[in-house]
Structure formats: structure tokens, C-alpha cells
Structure 1
Amino acid sequence: MSGLRVIPTWRHGQERLYVCRADGSNVAWYDREAARVNLLGESHRDDVLEALGPFLTGPVTVGPPPVPNPAELARLSLHPDDDLAPNRPGEALMIALDRDPGPAHRLRPDPRRRALAAEQAVGEALDRLDGAGWHTLHSIPLPGGGRIHHLAIGPGGLFAVHTLNARKQRVQVADPMVTLGRHEPEPLLRRIRAEAGRASYALTAEVHALLALTGPADLRVTAPPRDVRVLRDTELPGLASLGGVLKPADVEGLHAMARDRRTWGKV
């Protein structure tokens, strides 16, 4: 076999190296932490080890992977270009800023950079739920140019999380309007509900809407909004206490479906 390439992926500080054919399909992966090369076919052994040679860091076990569950099989068959799991918090904003950084003489900070910092703060808080059995995907693109900032999947259910930079500003929520500082109120909760609805349609599962505010000076909610949670970023770790909705196998299966870009193509 020729033309194998090694693709590194990172998730929560852990590295896996996938060995792929030219068409992007996987033939093996190297789990550096477990010191194990998992082969999807014994006939690939020599070619895989040759491709991984520069990356191996000592003795490794080589053999077939543990019996994969359906979610693992779905992930292994996923082309890297269609895999949303490697997306970083604020991925879409980072790409936009790289393409168009804006004028260097701007008198005020680019609002996109403040929005990016907010998405990164919320994304990092959600990623830390991983130890409690949660998975989070970031910057999920939707048809028409929209996107879901974060999708959290765990024992407590599914949450489409919309981030709002509210640093040192007062926030008032009067369903469906959200007022940020001295800005005009906007019907943000309608948009957030619509994003959660599109996610529910794509995943054929109930997805809850969540508005995450970063660093507000004050938060006033006139009445609990219908079907939308409103949390400060510092309150997001509390999601880890939620449970009883999804079993671990359900979490893995929904994560495998949600990370596939094609899942979102018709919503």
C-alpha cells in the first residue's frame, strides 16, 4: 500500500494520530497515551508502521482495536474534512479574522475579537465537562451562513449554546428581547430557539437552548424565558450535575452523528 498519510488530532490535550489513505479513509490510528497502534486490517501492518515511524516514541502494542461500538465505527468511517470535532471554540471567527484582520489603525477594538474571546471562554468551560461524560462541538456551520456556537452533549441532555459577550455590561432579559448595556434590545431568544430547533431536527432528538453570558456586570431576567436557559459563563460547570437524560451509549451515538458535517446539510 502506498500514499498513506498521518493526520494528528487533538482533543482536550490528548493526541491521536490517524493513518489514512489518499481518499481520507482510515486504516489505523496510534494512541500515544496507550502506546498502541490500532490496525483496521492486518494486511496494512508494515505500511502503517512505516508511515508512523517518525512519530513512534518507544515500544508500542500493534493489533486490532478493541471491539468498536457503533459510534466508534461511524467516526472511523468519517472523512477528516467532514469531521467537526477538531473545531476550536470560535473557529469561524478565527478564520474570518485571518482572512480579513481589519485596518490596523482601528480606534476601537474589533468587536469580532471580543466575540471570539467570549466564545473561547465559554468553549473552554464546556470542554472541561468532558470528565463528567460530556462532549462539546464548536462552531457548527448551518446552511445559509448561520452556525451554532457550541453543542454540548452529555448525561443531562443536549444544549445548543449561544455565547454573548457581556463583559462589564448590564444585561436584561425580557423574553424574547435581550438588552446589552446601552444597546437597543434585540429578539435574541428567538434566534437561539431557532438554532436549537434546527439542531433537534438534524439530530432527531430534543436539544435545549442555552444563552451563555461572559462577564456581565449585572443580569436581570424579568421572568424565566420559555425553553431557554440563561447562564453566566461561571455557572456552566453546573451542567455537570445534570443527569438522568442520556445514557453513555446515547451520548456517544449523538456525538458521532453531530460531529459529521453532513448531518447539518439540510437544516
Structure 2
Amino acid sequence: MSTRLSPAEWVRRRRADFVDKRLEVAGARAFGRLDSLGESWHIVDWSETGLSRRHDESDPLGARAGFLAVGPGGVYAVTVADQGLFRVHVAGDMVQINGRRVAYVAEARRAASRAAAALSEVAGAKVSVVAVLAFTGVGAVSTHGVPPSCLVATDRELDKLLTSGGHRISADTAARLAKIARDCAP
């Protein structure tokens, strides 16, 4: 028996490795820019929670990463999409990258509602989670009407977006919610 891969399997494996690498780099790029938020903010990676998501193999543009940002401004479910060199058009709920429509806004909302449900169940009180869609890459982002109930930003603007909400919860509450998020069961 041969352990050699067929050409189609080899291409699938290489593509999956490429998408996984882009996912890792995009998440790290957005995550690294949040150092300026301060000690009262807690960043919880999806992989540290029971809320981790599987990425869609049918997505031609690949990488999406995500994390929860919990701080005085509230709780945010950040979905990071790698746009690469392509221009992004956002018009309401529609996101178009390189001529292809992608369902990133719907995915960001699902991530936020899943996080809100899990946090609310464990905390015993209603926890509001805001959906955020952040793009990494060097292409331009043009918006013609932002989607309702989802914030859109680039990775360079993400820290300003998260702090623009003011102080809605205390630093102690933020720390407790971050601990709950890390302890959520899958």
C-alpha cells in the first residue's frame, strides 16, 4: 500500500494549509494591534472558549479568525477577515471582495449571538455582545451604508472602535465576563 497522495488530495491539503496559515496571520495581525487598549481589556481567542468555529472550506477567499474583546466598552465578538490585496465593498449586509459576495456580516452576527447565548446562560443574566467585522490586508475598504447590528472596521481602526463606546461596564465585570468566556463548555 502506498501512502502517496493523489494529485487532487495533494492540492486539497496544500489549499487547507494555505487557508490555515492565512487564518493564523490575519488573527495575529488584528490581535497584535490591541495592545493599546490597556489592562482593563481582556482578549479571549475563540480557541480558548467552547465557542470555537470551524471555517468554511467552500469560501474561496479563506481566512477568518475571531476573538472576544471584553472591556469597559462592553463585550465584542470580533470576526477577522483577510482581504489581502483586494478592495472590499460594504453596502448594508452585503460584502463584496474581488467581485465575490461573501456572508461575513451574517457570520459575525452568528458569532455574536452564539457568544451572547453562552455567556448569558453561564452568567445567569442577559449579556449583550456586539458583532464586529474587522478586515486585515492592504486593500481599500469602501462602505455605502453600514450593516445594522454589526460594526465594520479595519484592523488598524479596531482599537479605536472598541474604545469609542465609552465605559458601559466596570473593569471587575469585564474580568469576570472574560473568565466566564474562557470557561464556557463546548
Bin for the TM-score computed over the shorter chain: 0.7 to 0.9
**Which residue in 2 is equivalent to 1:4?**
none
Distance 1:115 1:149 in 2: 9
**Which residue in 2 is equivalent to 1:161?**
78
Q: Relative contact order, CA 8 A, sep 6+: which one is greater?
A: 2
% identical aligned pairs:
30
The partner residue of 2:163 within 240, 261, 264 is 240
CA offset digits 1:60-90 (Å, max 9, x no partner): xxxxxxxxxxxxxxxxxxxxxxxxxxxxxxx
Distance 1:224 1:241 in 2: 16
**Which residue in 1 is equivalent to 2:102?**
186
CA contact (8 A) 2:51 2:115 kept: no
Distance 1:251 1:143 in 2: 20
Give yes or no for the alignment of 1:252 onto 2:175. Answer: yes
**Which residue in 2 is equivalent to 1:142?**
51
**Which residue in 2 is equivalent to 1:172?**
89
**Which residue in 2 is equivalent to 1:84?**
none
CA offset digits 1:78-105 (Å, max 9, x no partner): xxxxxxxxxxxxxxxxxxxxxxxx77x9
Give yes or no for the alignment of 1:199 onto 2:115. Answer: yes
Give yes or no for the alignment of 1:125 onto 2:33. Answer: yes
CA offset digits 1:11-56 (Å, max 9, x no partner): xxxxxxxxxxxxxxxxxxxxxxxxxxxxxxxxxxxxxxxxxxxxxx
The partner residue of 1:151 within 68, 79, 94 is 68
Q: What SS does the aligned partner of 2:169 have?
A: coil
Shift of 1:244: 1.8
Distance 2:14 2:129 in 1: 39
Shift of 1:219: 0.9
Distance 2:23 2:54 in 1: 17
Give yes or no for the alignment of 1:226 onto 2:148. Answer: yes
Q: 1:181 and 1:148, CA in 2 relative to 1: closer, same or farther beyond 3 A?
A: closer
Distance 1:258 1:250 in 2: 12
Distance 1:242 1:144 in 2: 27
Aligned AA (1:215) = G
Aligned AA (1:195) = A
Q: What SS does the aligned partner of 1:110 have?
A: helix
Q: 1:241 and 1:145, CA in 2 relative to 1: closer, same or farther beyond 3 A?
A: closer
Shift of 1:203: 1.2
Distance 2:42 2:106 in 1: 25
Aligned AA (2:86) = Q
Aligned residues, how many?
158
Q: 1:169 and 1:191, CA in 2 relative to 1: closer, same or farther beyond 3 A?
A: same
**Structure having the higher Rg:** 1
Q: What SS does the aligned partner of 1:185 have?
A: strand
Shift of 1:119: 0.8
TM-score normalized by structure 2? 0.74
CA contact (8 A) 1:129 1:135 kept: no
**Which residue in 2 is equivalent to 1:215?**
137
CA offset digits 1:113-166 (Å, max 9, x no partner): 22221111011223x145251000112443784797100000100110001001
